[in-house]
A and B are shown apart, each in its own frame.
Chain A
């Protein structure tokens, strides 16, 4: 398991032809997520419908293929879900990228995003994959500060990134 399993045609298709990379007209809320050391800078846009569900979602920003492909797959996955369902998916994705074994049902729920599974073997890249998901989770939890995967639980993410931090 390594980078060869990560840069799958599915991921690269989302990178070269993203479906949700645009400003969302009539967005109910937008929330920024950043990985300062990578330079990944992502803003999620979500439009909540009258029934409270996510009617539409999109993303803008710059970053690596993993962070952008992940954001595109996530946008596709959460449209039509209630905020609670979306948060549940974020949780599931977080468990996957941290290397937890998911049940077959859980794997199906993540749909295409399961292709990022192998990132759990590349600790320095986990924060790239989870940026969009953490940002969405914080947005739906009512956060107002930008999300940073190198912030509050930095102990886990920044130490994981330490191989990149040598000279």
Chain B
């Protein structure tokens, strides 16, 4: 069971790394790319069978084989590969929308809820379908070629995810169902490993409930103390607050990279440094940052990081947990059962090595494979282009909303500090009424507490509206929102 990870573990010495033409070329153009691009996603043991494999998809075409500007390959993923940041930032045009079948299926939809879940490009949908059409078997336990193929699809995706977040070792990538499950795994397992009565866990008050309730629960069970870091009204965490709240009793610090309500990026690097000074580990909830910015776990300096595929243009039902290998090896398993053991007797069991130790039961292999393709897609579009376009979209969204006299905006007043989201309220109109009425104009936004009730309480509101953008949005989406808000305001203020 462990053997097929051995080749991943030792990429540099993999004997057939150079002999496989699809693996030989450097993988990605980014200078930030870690050396792990040479990691062979395919298994050493399966190498003989590999030549006969016909499994091919947009995914495979780009694993490790695509060089900079290889438009023929990336065109299979997106119609608009590698536009410059300047080109991408022109929100009058929309070179990306055609990649997403939903917008053709539901024409006239103004989708401004990507922070809840993104749309998926055609290549991701095709990858999922193709897995079931031509590679479907239960991964890991099979001794026949088809099952090996399914296993390889998971391994390839694991290597892509590692590369996406700058992790060197693909074995450090654990697949879960979503960020929530990843953070529950982290809380349970690390809580059991690290927390003793009187210890402290530090989080911020702007956490999503999925990075809050697991810590409430584990602190109660371990008789540890949950400590909150409080930002200012715009969402900035001060150095003093970080120093004050991450003290000598802290064992775990867990923070959102980007707030799902305020859109602000937390100073994770500083927080991780402070945590390490105090002997604590640092966990990052990257659910809201992964779609919007380049992530490098080594630059962030964190020990654990979680995100969901479905916000990064991948399928629903796939989450990622990355942690440093020494932690993963020390952590007890979270879910137990099939596929996560080496041997079982009537009295006890021996855990399989990482990552299988944390992946009990049959994985969603098709979804994991499609997740890898989603990350290829992001790579083909280019994170620089994505960031530039989203900054232009958020700036326009913020300015248009700020120009409405009846709108209150929450969070940073400098739109450049926002990553994808703007939360706001209309004077005297409940957000649920706003979003229901916007729906009649086919404008989709989120309304509610955004699973961040402690933060909203501090902002002094029960609910807000939240518009969020992805790079497939354009100016017309935001104009439709603003026209819609005028319509809602008119209804409640007698000018309908």
Q: Is A47 an interface residue (CB 8 A)?
A: no
Are B436 and A6 in contact, CB atoms less than 8 angstroms apart?
yes
Taken residue by residue from 1 to 33, chain A's Cβ proximity to chain B (1 for < 8 Å, 0 otherwise) reads as 011101100001001100000000000000000
The residues in A between 126 and 167 inclusive whose CB is less than 8 angstroms from any CB of B are 128, 164-167
Q: Is B190 an interface residue (CB 8 A)?
A: no
Closest partner residue, chain A, to B463 (CB atom): A39
Are B448 and A65 in contact, CB atoms less than 8 angstroms apart?
no
Bound state CA distance, A48 and B449, in angstroms? 38
Contact partner, A38, options B116, B208, B260, B463, Cβ 8 Å:
B463
Are A167 and B462 in contact, CB atoms less than 8 angstroms apart?
no
The residues in A between 116 and 131 inclusive whose CB is less than 8 angstroms from any CB of B are 122, 124-125, 128
How many residue-residue contacts, CB under 8 A, span A and B? 63
Q: Is B311 an interface residue (CB 8 A)?
A: yes
**Nearest Cβ on chain B to A107's Cβ, whole angstroms:** 23
Residues of B close to A15: CB separation below 8 A: 492
Residues of A close to B117: CB separation below 8 A: 166-167
**Nearest Cβ on chain A to B427's Cβ, whole angstroms:** 14
Closest partner residue, chain A, to B311 (CB atom): A167
Are B436 and A3 in contact, CB atoms less than 8 angstroms apart?
yes
Q: Is A64 an interface residue (CB 8 A)?
A: yes
Bound state CA distance, A64 and B462, in angstroms? 11
Are A3 and B288 in contact, CB atoms less than 8 angstroms apart?
no
Are B449 and A37 in contact, CB atoms less than 8 angstroms apart?
yes
Are B432 and A128 in contact, CB atoms less than 8 angstroms apart?
yes
Residues of A close to B429: CB separation below 8 A: 65
Are A167 and B433 in contact, CB atoms less than 8 angstroms apart?
no
Closest partner residue, chain B, to A65 (CB atom): B433
**Nearest Cβ on chain B to A48's Cβ, whole angstroms:** 31
Residues of B close to A38: CB separation below 8 A: 430, 432, 448, 462-463
Taken residue by residue from 309 to 350, chain B's Cβ proximity to chain A (1 for < 8 Å, 0 otherwise) reads as 001000000000000000000000000000000000000000
Are B492 and A16 in contact, CB atoms less than 8 angstroms apart?
yes
> What is the number of residues of chain B that contact chain A, defined by CB distance less than 8 Å?
27
**Nearest Cβ on chain A to B279's Cβ, whole angstroms:** 32
Q: Interface size for chain A: under 10, 10 to 19, 20 to 34, or 35 or more residues?
A: 20 to 34
Are A164 and B436 in contact, CB atoms less than 8 angstroms apart?
no
Are A64 and B287 in contact, CB atoms less than 8 angstroms apart?
no
Taken residue by residue from 171 to 209, chain B's Cβ proximity to chain A (1 for < 8 Å, 0 otherwise) reads as 000000000000000000000000000000000000010
Closest partner residue, chain B, to A122 (CB atom): B436
Residues of A close to B115: CB separation below 8 A: 167
Closest partner residue, chain A, to B466 (CB atom): A167
Residues of B close to A2: CB separation below 8 A: 439-440
Q: Is A54 an interface residue (CB 8 A)?
A: no
Are A166 and B116 in contact, CB atoms less than 8 angstroms apart?
yes
Q: Is B481 an interface residue (CB 8 A)?
A: no
Residues of A close to B436: CB separation below 8 A: 3, 6-7, 122, 125
Contact partner, B433, options A16, A37, A66, A166, Cβ 8 Å:
A66
Closest partner residue, chain B, to A166 (CB atom): B116
**Nearest Cβ on chain A to B284's Cβ, whole angstroms:** 16
Q: Is B294 an interface residue (CB 8 A)?
A: no
**Nearest Cβ on chain B to A10's Cβ, whole angstroms:** 13
Residues of A close to B494: CB separation below 8 A: 16
Residues of A close to B237: CB separation below 8 A: none
Q: Is B451 an interface residue (CB 8 A)?
A: yes
Q: Is B437 an interface residue (CB 8 A)?
A: yes
**Nearest Cβ on chain B to A64's Cβ, whole angstroms:** 3
Are B491 and A12 in contact, CB atoms less than 8 angstroms apart?
yes
Q: Is B236 an interface residue (CB 8 A)?
A: no
Q: Is A61 an interface residue (CB 8 A)?
A: no
Closest partner residue, chain A, to B438 (CB atom): A3
Are A167 and B448 in contact, CB atoms less than 8 angstroms apart?
no
Residues of A close to B462: CB separation below 8 A: 38-39
Q: Is A63 an interface residue (CB 8 A)?
A: yes
Task: Indicate whether A37 sits within 8 Å of B288 (C-beta atoms), given known contacts A7-B491, A167-B115.
Answer: no
Are B437 and A3 in contact, CB atoms less than 8 angstroms apart?
yes
Most B-side CB within 10 Å, residue of A64, A125, A167? A167
Are A167 and B439 in contact, CB atoms less than 8 angstroms apart?
no
The residues in B between 430 and 453 inclusive whose CB is less than 8 angstroms from any CB of A are 430, 432-433, 436-437, 439-440, 446-451
Bound state CA distance, A128 and B463, in angstroms? 14
**Nearest Cβ on chain A to B423's Cβ, whole angstroms:** 12
Contact partner, A3, options B208, B287, B440, B451, Cβ 8 Å:
B440
Task: Indicate whether A37 sits within 8 Å of B448 (C-beta atoms), given known contacts A3-B437, A3-B439, A167-B287.
Answer: yes
Task: Indicate whether A164 sits within 8 Å of B447 (C-beta atoms), given known contacts A38-B462, A65-B433.
Answer: yes
Are B432 and A167 in contact, CB atoms less than 8 angstroms apart?
no
Contact partner, B451, options A6, A12, A125, A167, Cβ 8 Å:
A167
Closest partner residue, chain B, to A9 (CB atom): B496
The residues in B between 230 and 271 inclusive whose CB is less than 8 angstroms from any CB of A are 260
**Nearest Cβ on chain A to B313's Cβ, whole angstroms:** 15
Name 21 interchain pairs, CB-CB below 8 A, sorted by A: A3-B437, A4-B440, A7-B433, A7-B436, A7-B437, A12-B492, A15-B492, A16-B492, A37-B448, A38-B430, A65-B429, A65-B492, A124-B432, A164-B448, A166-B117, A166-B451, A167-B208, A167-B260, A167-B287, A167-B311, A167-B450
- The residues of A with any CB-CB pair to B shorter than 8 Å are 2-4, 6-7, 12, 15-16, 37-39, 63-66, 122, 124-125, 128, 164-167
- The residues of B with any CB-CB pair to A shorter than 8 Å are 115-117, 208, 260, 287-288, 311, 429-430, 432-433, 436-437, 439-440, 446-451, 462-463, 491-492, 494
